[in-house]
Amino acid sequence: MTWWSPTDWDWLTSGVRTIIGAGIGTTFVQVGYAVYQERYRKRSHAAYMAMRLAVTLEAYAAASWDLIARNRTEEPHPEGRFTGNATLPLLSPYPEDVEGWRAIDRALAGRCLSLPLKVHANQVDIGWTGTFVEEDWDNVGELVEKMAADRGLDAWKLASALRSRHRIERADEGLNFSDRLTEVVNSAAQAQADQRDGNGGQRPTSNRRRRDIKDRPTAPTPSDA
């Protein structure tokens, strides 16, 4: 063997192979660790966002039950008019965190965003009922109670789903209003079923007197301005 003969340089080629292999291995480790860190960061961000949303939704469920409980303690009006609060609770503003919204489960994010729309639609129904229904003001109170329970229960179930999906500890049992809200929802459904049975399976009727559609206020037209 002569040191100047390339054919005898096995030690050099094996050394180069070792260096290249070590470099590739190090690169894979670094890339893998970076990917792991990014995934962990996203999971942590999603869990934190889910926790913030869950607390907001649970607070809404509590406010819904509070509205129902307060209305039940109102003194009855001599003429039977509803004297309680007919305004459904408003959801507190959600966190303004675009990355957080993208990180949480997409279906649950959609349910969160649609809940305020449901609350608004229910409030419109209550407003129309209170404006155009006469001589049956108990109906307004029943409607407020049912819709408050429906939306409050929706909020609680959604909060529970967020906690389960993103592996967050359960809410304090002392703050669990789901049983009471469920009882209200079931009672309203049973009352409707009883009314249908009492009317031979037909849609329930009442002594409510609705104003004719022509008597309802309409938006002004350009010619009226």
Q: For position 197, what pLDDT does the model report? A: 76
Residue closest to 216 by CA, chosen among 128, 143, 151: 128
Report d(CA 60, CA 64) in Å as an integer. Answer: 6
Higher pLDDT: 79 or 7? It is 79
| Contact (Cβ atoms closer than 8 angstroms) between residue 185 and residue 100 | no
- What pLDDT, in 10s, does the model give residues 146-168? 999 999 999 999 999 999 999 99
Domain segments of the chain as ranges: 49-195
Place of tokens 């329970």: 149
Beta bridge partners of 210: 133
* Residue 205: pLDDT band with limits 50, 70, 90: very low
Average pLDDT estimate for 10-33: 58
- What pLDDT, in 10s, does the model give residues 83-122? 889 999 999 999 999 999 999 999 999 999 999 999 999 9
| Contact (Cβ atoms closer than 8 angstroms) between residue 71 and residue 133 | no
